[in-house]
Amino acid sequence: MDSSKIRNFCIIAHIDHGKSTIADRMMELTDTVAKREMKAQLLDSMELEREKGITIKLTPVQMHWKGYTLNLIDTPGHVDFSYEVSRSLQAVEAAVLVVDATQGIQAQTLANVYLALEQDLCIIPVINKIDLPAADVEKVSAQIVNLLGCQPKDIIPVSGKTGQGIPDILDRIINCAPAPRVLSDDDALNKSTRALIFDSYFDDYRGVILYVRIFDGKIGKNSEIRMMAAETNGIALEVGSLTPKMVPQSSLDEGSIGYIVTNLKTTREAKVGDTVTLAKTPANMPLPGYKNVLPFVYAGFFPVSNDQYQDLKDAIEKLSMSDSALHFEPENSPVLGFGLRIGFLGLLHMDIIKERLEREFNLDLVITNPSTNYEVTTTDGEELNIRSASDLPDQSTIQEIREPWVKGEIILPQTMIGGVLGLINEKRGHQTNLSYIEDRAVIDFEAPMANLLTDFYDQLKSVTSGYASFNYELSDYRPEDLVRLDFLVAGNRVDALSVMCHRTEADALGREITKKLKEVIPRQNFEVALQAAIGAKIIARETIGAYRKDVLVKIHTGDRDRKAKLLEKQKKGKARMKRFGKIDIPSEAFTVMLKRN
C-alpha cells in the first residue's frame, strides 16, 4: 500500500460531545458499514458503553474515501480513561477536535488539546450539534479560536445526527493531515521492522490480539515476532485491518494501523506501549512507549459468599488481560473474609469494573470505601507504599506520611467562581491560577487526591447547577499531618471501615461517619456503641438503642415491685448479650463515605 495515500487520525473531545456519533456518520458515508448493519455508537460494542452513552475502550476502524485509506481511532472522553487517549495520539498524525455547539469548551477538551499539541499533531477543529436549537456556533467558534489560535474559517460546523458537514471533515483530513512518515532510501536499507502496540486484549478463542501501528517495515502472516520490552517471542498467526470487523490480509505495511492475532496467552507478554519487531531481524532501538499507568484509587472487593472468592479472582484476572491499568492483590478481612484490593484510575473506572463483574460474571459483591495510596517513611528509614488505612503501621514507628496531590482544572461560568473556590478550600485545596476563555472561567487548583475521591464531582455539579466540567492529573506526593481514623462497632475495631484523613478533619469526619453508620446498621436486642477513634483516643460516639421486648405483657396486676423485678432481670440478660453478641454489618456500611453530606 502506498503510504502517501494513508491518513491516520483520532477523534478527541469532552465526554458526550458527539465523537462516537460522528464516527458512525463517517463509516456510513464511506460505506464501511452497510446501512442495514448500522446502529448508534457502532464502535461502542460493550454493553455498558451503550447503556451509559460513553466510550470506555478505544476502537480502531479503517475507511476509504476518494482513493485514500483513513485509519480512525475513536477515543474515550471521560477523565478516568484519558490514558486510552494518550495511546491513540501516539499512533496517529492528526486529531479531529470535536466541541459541542451547546456546551462549548470543557475541561477534557483542554486536556486533550494539550496532549495533541505535545505530540505535534495536526488539529482539525469541528463544532458538532449545530442542528440543536440551543446551539451557539458563533460563541463556541470564538472559544476555539481563542484556544487554538486558528481562523474562524478553519472550524468545520457539523451535525453528527444528520450527517451535515461530515464530508468536509473527511476532505480536510486528506488535504491537511500529513501522511505517515517515510524513511529515506538510505535509511530504508538498514531499517528493521518496528510497530507500536496501542491496545491489546485477550480473546477466549484466539488468544492475545494486538492493535498496532506499523512505523517501520512490515509484519506478514505467520511471522515470528518479538516484544522488545517484555522480551517475549510469539507468532503473528493472522494480521489484518479493522472495518471495524477483522479483515485478514497477507501483511501489515509501513504506516498502516491494524491487528495481529498472536499465540500469546496473556497481555502481560505484550504490554501496551511495547515495540513489536521481527525475531529474526530485531530492531536495535524500541519506539518511544507510553507512560506506565499506575492506579491511584483503591477499593476492597469482597464476595458476599466466600464460596465465590475464586470466581472473583478468575473474573478480575480475565478483565485485567484487556485493561492494563487494572492492578489487584489478595486481601483478607476479619469481617468480610477473603477478597481483592483493586487499583483503578478513578471512580468511574471502579464503577465500570464493578458493574462488569456483577453483570458478566454474576458476582454478588461488597465494596469498601475507595482510598488512595500513601508513601510512608518509618523511623528506621524503611519506605512503605500503603494502599489501605488498615495497613498503616503503629503511629510511633512513623516518621512521615506523604499523600498524593492532583493538579485540577475546572471550567465554569464566570458568575459561579465564588462557590467553586469555596468548595476547593473546603477540600484542603488552593487555587493556583484563574484565566478566561470568552465568557468562561478556568480555575487551576491543587488539592489532595483523597479529598476529591468521594463526592467532590457531585458537589461541584450541585454548586454550579451542572455547568462546570472538571479534569485532573496526578501531581506529586506531599508530607502532611495524616492519621488513621478507626471505627469500632460494639467495642470491636472494623479494619474495613478505617480511613486515612488529615488530623484537622478527623473530629468532623468521625462524627459524620458514626451518624451514617447508625442509620445503616440494624438495631439489635442489646445496645450497640459506634465509636470513632485515633489510636486509643475516642473522638466520636453514637449509640444504637436496643429493641425492647415487652416482658410486662403477661402481668395483669399493678404490682410495681414485680414489674421492676422483671425489668431488672431483662436488663441483666441484655448485658450478657452485649458482651457476647455478634453484630451483622450490612454492605451499605462499607460505602457510607461515598454519600457524605
Query: Which pLDDT tens digit goes with each residue over 494-511?
Result: 888 888 999 999 999 999
Angle at the Cα of 435 from the Cα atoms of 434 and 439, rounded to 5 degrees: 125
Residue 105 above 50 pLDDT? yes
User: pLDDT at position 360, please?
Assistant: 84
User: pLDDT at position 34, please?
Assistant: 58
Residue 51 above 50 pLDDT? no
Angle at the Cα of 583 from the Cα atoms of 582 and 584, rounded to 5 degrees: 120
φ, ψ of residue 495 in degrees (nearest 5)? -60, -35
User: pLDDT at position 532, please?
Assistant: 94
Instruction: Please state which of the ranges 200-209, 348-357, 408-417, 544-553 shows the lowest mean pLDDT.
Output: 544-553
Which grid coordinates are listed for 48? 455498558
Average pLDDT over residues 435-448: 90
Would the CA dihedral through 379, 383, 387, 390 be positive or negative? Answer: negative
- The string of pLDDT tens digits covering residues 33-44 is 755 454 444 444
Task: List strands edge to edge, sheet with 365-367.
Answer: 327-333, 337-344, 297-303, 365-367
Average pLDDT over residues 545-565: 63
Instruction: Please state which of the ranges 76-90, 285-299, 420-434, 475-489 shows the lowest mean pLDDT.
Output: 76-90
In angstroms, the CA 49 to CA 359 distance is 13
Residue 482's CB is within 10 A of a number of other CB atoms, namely 23
Residue 85 above 80 pLDDT? no
- pLDDT grade for 593, boundaries at 50, 70 and 90: low
Compare 53 and 491 and report the one with higher pLDDT: 491
Compare 316 and 335 and report the one with higher pLDDT: 316
H-type alpha helices, 30-182: 47-52, 82-90, 107-118, 137-148, 166-176
Residue 181 above 60 pLDDT? yes
Compare 76 and 88 and report the one with higher pLDDT: 88
Instruction: Please state which of the ranges 239-243, 288-292, 368-372 shows the lowest mean pLDDT.
Output: 288-292
**What percent of the chain stands above pLDDT 70?**
82
Q: What is the DSSP string of 493-561?
A: E-GGG-EEEEHHHHHHHHHHHHHHHHHHSPP-SS-EEEEEEETTEEEEEEEEPPP---TTTT--S--HH
User: pLDDT at position 183, please?
Assistant: 53
User: pLDDT at position 576, please?
Assistant: 46
Residue 269 above 70 pLDDT? yes
